[in-house]
A and B are shown apart, each in its own frame.
Chain A
Amino acid sequence: MYLGRVVGRVWSTVKNAELEGQRFLVVQPITPEGANAGKRIVCTDMTGAGAGEIIYWVRGREASIALPAPEVPTDFSIVGIVDEMSVNREAKK
């Protein structure tokens, strides 16, 4: 999965029938430290995430599995909202 921040929404009226009722969110991939990490993407969402929230998402076939509806044509889906993150890059075992 990948870390990101929700930075926008996409509205679409004419779309594949299986996409009815899906929310489309614009996500900026980020590092754990909050820096941008790549280009923005559009994700379907099962979490109810809102603008500014840190989330993580899955890509590929698993993005469709994440949604309650069957066979949704999506390749990125938000699957969790990050409440807290602990980062220690110096620890070595």
Chain B
Amino acid sequence: MLIGRVIGEIVATRKHATHEDRKILLVQPLNLDGSERGAALVALDAVDAGVGDRVLLTTEGFSAFSSVGYKKAPIDMAVIGIVDSVELIEGAA
């Protein structure tokens, strides 16, 4: 998974049927120091996350489409958790 911040939402009328009735979120992946890590990604929402939330993002097909309730769907990214905090263990990092 990646840690990212929800920075927006997308409205799309013409889209695959399995993307109906779900928020389509724009997620900016982040490094642990909070800096941006690559371009923002598009993910379906599985946990009712909103703009400003720091989230866990899966970027693998099976985990993405199963997290939003499908056995098979063209979904390769989903927000599957809202991050409360991240702790780095001293000496291990």
Contacts and interface: CB of A to CB of B under 8 A. Distances in A.
Given A62-B61, A88-B52, A93-B52, A83 B12 contact: yes
Contacts of A48: 14
Nearest to B38: A37
Interface string B36-49: 00111111000000
A80 B16 contact: yes
Nearest to B74: A66
Nearest to B70: A65
B7 interface: yes
Given A79-B16, A93-B50, A86 B42 contact: no
Interface residues of B, number: 35
Given A60-B61, A80-B14, A93-B52, A88 B43 contact: no
Nearest to B52: A91
Interface of B: 5, 7-16, 19, 24, 26, 28, 38-43, 50-54, 61, 64-65, 72-77
Interface of A: 1-3, 29-32, 37-38, 46-49, 56, 58-63, 65-66, 77, 79-89, 91-93
